[in-house]
Structure 1
Amino acid sequence: MTTRLRSAVARLLADSRLSVLVAVAVGWLFVVGGRFLLPAVLPQVKTTFSVGNAGAGLAVSVVWATYALMQAPGGVLIDRVGERLLLAGSLALTGAAVLVVAFAPTYPVFLVGCGVFGLTTGLYGPARGTTISRSFPRNDGAAIGATLAAGSLGSAILPFLAGSLVGRVGWRLLLGVLVVPFVVVAAFAWRAVPVRSVGSDSSTGSLLANVFAAVRTPAVARAVAAVTLLLFAFQGLTAFLPTYLVEVKGFDQSTATGLFALLFLAGAGSQLLAGTLADRIGERWVLTATAAVAVVSAAAIPFVDGVLVAAVVVSAVGTRLAMAPVSNAYVIDVLPPGVQGSAWGVLRTGFFLVSAGGSTFVGAFADRGLFDEAFFVLAALAGVAAVLYVGLPTRATAKRQGQASITRE
């Protein structure tokens, strides 16, 4: 496995389009890192605005829900204006959004800021995927894995720093300073990502008909249903994991955020390995195994006792991030080229909008003293995803289904 991983990394480093990969990956590092920084400072946010777990969970859900709502428009814009403008524009606008979140005077304004952050980062996700898929067609799994691994590193580093520094500098400053890297990386993306010829002669009605025909194909529907369940479970789990470790398991906040960082470090390694492995042996069993580990790890959280056991369980939780590069590469590749961006955006809106409810779901359980039971439900959802992945068809079969659906329309 190590040899394969090194070989894949070497191929990516030798590619002439490396600057594209670096720009997109670094941008994703701050997008995802900024998103997961919020759960790390939820105890302070709750104190500042005098809200409970349900209120804190609602803020995280707002970020994910607005992020989801922007996926379909963002996907359509890929096929109309291209990825370069979307990627750079998303990063620049997010720099402004973090200032709204950081300096919100009241809880309602804070929620509005969370919504703006979700909307601006929502433009990034669809364009990130299609840029990498088109730039690295022979190694799309490895390239997407590297990009998502960068996001996982951001999810480890930024929350860890936040948990370590929040007591000294406050959560507002920690969020506010993110404006600097967002603006800098926006300029880098504008220079690195090439301009692509875009535009379509088809009518909007014809485009939408082809998009919905593509997303209804059995292979795409099965893959998206599974990823939706895993994302819902992951969103609910990660939104409250630091809070759970502090309030229920008795860890101090720096230890809890350190474990939270470990989750994403394990996820980064898993994403790199899974993307490379799927490029060689196919997606079905990589995804099935990932979902199976997600079942066991979520169910094990209530039984955590001590830092060492917690580190093992949390690392296992992180491996479910391996699902993303494999699933993304599979779905993007099997979508018909003419509607790839639009269809991918519509799908992302669907699964992110549903999964956004995960944090509110767990927060509501937690306020009723049912934190542990919530994790058992999340484990069951991951089990359903594993069953769905067992029947996932090959890319060749899925492509034939997708093209046939467009032809019939």
Structure 2
Amino acid sequence: MTEPTSGYLSAVSRSVRDLLAGRRGTVLIAIAGGWFLTMGVRMIYPVMVPYLQSAYDLDLTTAGLLLTVLFMAYAIGQLPGGVLADRIGERLILTSSMLISAITLVLVITAGSAIVLFVATALFGFGAALYAVGRYTILPQLYPEQIGAANGLTASSQDAGQSVLPPLAGIIAAGLVWQLGFGFAVPLFLAMAAVLWVVTPKRSADDADDAEALSLSGLRYIASILRQPAIVYPTTILVLGLFVWQAFTGFYPTYLVQEKGLSQPLSSGLFGLFFALGILIKPLSGGAYDRIGARRSLLFLTTGPIAAFLALPFFDSFWVLIVVTAFISTLLGFTTVTEPFLLEHLPEDIRGTGFGILRTIGFSIGALGPVFFGAAADNGFFDEAFMALAAFAGAIMLLALRIPAE
């Protein structure tokens, strides 16, 4: 191992030890645990698409619409989550999200019709969104000097959940009944709600009361901030990245089964590998952001996905697909760069609300990815849809050059 590499790994190790030390380390672990569960369960949906198609007679376009409903509800919940985080604090928001997720999953597994399934899915997505903003806005309070590294660590817990829980759900659904592929998570959400309520610090009354009402003058102030180049370009990258990410993750397992001929367990395992690599990629990209800034980090992170999306239609070998999946997985680091950048450039008095607005914009547009992707697949353009994703990733690379230098 070369001396620069050894020195870098040593610095990463010291950074992780600093993050996990003391009371704030306990809070960070609990928040990461909730994020592991929330995002892991959300990504069970793509694995369960074949089962839902059979149970409710859904074609790929309708299945894509179900995923769009999930992601759109998640997008819509970002703004209320941000406003509530500013007003009542993260402790109540994070705990409530866990309880809502548990209740709505019960509705998902007991749905008697496709309409009920769609409604329950929307409610689950909204509940998950409440957790998303709260777990971000608490980080600058806990780690003002290491926000990139702290975000990278919690973000890696997302990929740990997405690498473990979807394959587990696939095994449970194949071996038992598909409802248990969702249902096993209900007691986990309830347990996590109790943990978060105990360990998350309660915001003081003064802090909670400082959040201003969304008056006309307040909205004008927020709009003036959101028009700044330091906000516009990273937000546009966030939008494009989420569109690509949600389109890809929504149908990659189905693509591997229907177009590449893989079995359901193999496709679920490859899908899990995609997220497992994010456990490494996100802390490294967060550390890279702290060290070299957003622009250079994003240029590196988008190179692999562009090449991999273009190559994917031409290879059927399982071992080659592993390599292609690994290259695509570097895409997972884009939020670990853009979101800390946005948080640092939003004034503290509107950080929750402003960040909620930006994530609502990003996830609302990004949520359209699965339905367009599903429609393309239904019309025989599965391979071409992946090539289109390469073009979107190329646009992200070009926009990264426009981010103001730190």
TM-score normalised by structure 2 residue count: 0.95
Letter of the structure 1 residue corresponding to residue 82 of structure 2: G
- 1:64 and 1:297 mapped to 2: Cα distance? 24
Mapped contact 2:20–2:26 kept (Cα < 8 A): no
The corresponding residue for 1:406 is none
- 1:64 and 1:122 mapped to 2: Cα distance? 9
The corresponding residue for 1:301 is 312
Of 149, 153, 159, 2:160 maps to 153
- 1:96 and 1:165 mapped to 2: Cα distance? 20
Letter of the structure 2 residue corresponding to residue 306 of structure 1: S
CA positional deviation for 1:15:
4.3
The corresponding residue for 1:403 is none
- 1:288 and 1:194 mapped to 2: Cα distance? 37
The corresponding residue for 1:141 is 148
Mapped contact 2:239–2:366 kept (Cα < 8 A): yes
Is 1:362 aligned to residue 369 of structure 2?
no
Mapped contact 1:17–1:135 kept (Cα < 8 A): yes
The corresponding residue for 1:221 is 232
Mapped contact 2:169–2:180 kept (Cα < 8 A): no
The corresponding residue for 1:405 is none
CA positional deviation for 1:50:
0.7
Letter of the structure 1 residue corresponding to residue 198 of structure 2: R
Mapped contact 1:267–1:322 kept (Cα < 8 A): yes
The corresponding residue for 2:105 is 98
- 2:112 and 2:315 mapped to 1: Cα distance? 37
Of 338, 342, 358, 1:327 maps to 338
The corresponding residue for 2:245 is 234
Of 324, 330, 353, 1:313 maps to 324
Of 128, 134, 139, 1:132 maps to 139
CA positional deviation for 1:390:
1.3
Q: Any runs of at least 4 consecutive aligned residues in structure 1 with deviations exceeding 6 A, and if so which?
A: none
- 1:181 and 1:275 mapped to 2: Cα distance? 28
The corresponding residue for 1:389 is 400
Letter of the structure 1 residue corresponding to residue 236 of structure 2: A
Structure 1 unpaired stretches of 5+:
396-409
What whole-Å deviation, never above 9, does each CA across 1:104-140 have from its counterpart, x for those lacking one?
1111111011101011111111111011222111111
Of 201, 204, 211, 2:214 maps to 204
- 2:195 and 2:288 mapped to 1: Cα distance? 30
Is 1:114 aligned to residue 100 of structure 2?
no
What whole-Å deviation, never above 9, does each CA across 1:40-87 have from its counterpart, x for those lacking one?
111111011011111111111101001101111111111111111101
Is 1:285 aligned to residue 296 of structure 2?
yes
SS in 2 for 1:305: coil
SS in 2 for 1:249: coil
SS in 2 for 1:41: helix
Structure 2 unpaired stretches of 5+:
1-7
Instruction: Quickly say closer, same or farther: Cα 1:181–1:283, change in 2 above 3 A.
Output: same
Mapped contact 1:266–1:316 kept (Cα < 8 A): no
- 2:212 and 2:45 mapped to 1: Cα distance? 42
Letter of the structure 1 residue corresponding to residue 296 of structure 2: W
CA positional deviation for 1:394:
3.4
TM-score normalised by structure 1 residue count: 0.94
The corresponding residue for 2:86 is 79
Is 1:164 aligned to residue 171 of structure 2?
yes
CA positional deviation for 1:201:
6.6
Mapped contact 2:102–2:189 kept (Cα < 8 A): yes
Mapped contact 2:97–2:131 kept (Cα < 8 A): yes
What whole-Å deviation, never above 9, does each CA across 1:299-342 have from its counterpart, x for those lacking one?
22212321111111111111111111221111011101111110
Matched residue pairs, number? Answer: 395
What whole-Å deviation, never above 9, does each CA across 1:176-207 have from its counterpart, x for those lacking one?
22111111111111111111221237442232
SS in 1 for 2:138: helix
Mapped contact 2:170–2:265 kept (Cα < 8 A): yes
Q: Which deviates further from its counterpart, 193-202 or 179-188? A: 193-202
Mapped contact 2:282–2:332 kept (Cα < 8 A): yes
SS in 2 for 1:144: helix
What whole-Å deviation, never above 9, does each CA across 1:189-240 have from its counterpart, x for those lacking one?
1111111221237442232222222211111110010111011011101110
The percentage of aligned residue pairs carrying the same residue is 35
Is 1:258 aligned to residue 243 of structure 2?
no
- 1:49 and 1:4 mapped to 2: Cα distance? 52
- 1:77 and 1:212 mapped to 2: Cα distance? 19
Alignment of 1:9-28 (within 5 A): 9-28=16-35
SS in 2 for 1:194: coil
Mapped contact 1:232–1:357 kept (Cα < 8 A): yes
Instruction: Quickly say closer, same or farther: Cα 1:203–1:231, change in 2 above 3 A.
Output: closer
- 2:142 and 2:121 mapped to 1: Cα distance? 32
Letter of the structure 1 residue corresponding to residue 32 of structure 2: A
Of 40, 52, 57, 1:33 maps to 40
SS in 2 for 1:204: coil
SS in 2 for 1:137: coil
- 1:235 and 1:201 mapped to 2: Cα distance? 32
- 1:204 and 1:355 mapped to 2: Cα distance? 26
Of 347, 357, 362, 1:351 maps to 362
Letter of the structure 2 residue corresponding to residue 3 of structure 1: S
Mapped contact 1:87–1:189 kept (Cα < 8 A): yes
Instruction: Quickly say closer, same or farther: Cα 1:15–1:274, change in 2 above 3 A.
Output: farther
CA positional deviation for 1:277:
1.8
Letter of the structure 1 residue corresponding to residue 331 of structure 2: R
Letter of the structure 1 residue corresponding to residue 66 of structure 2: A
Letter of the structure 1 residue corresponding to residue 382 of structure 2: F
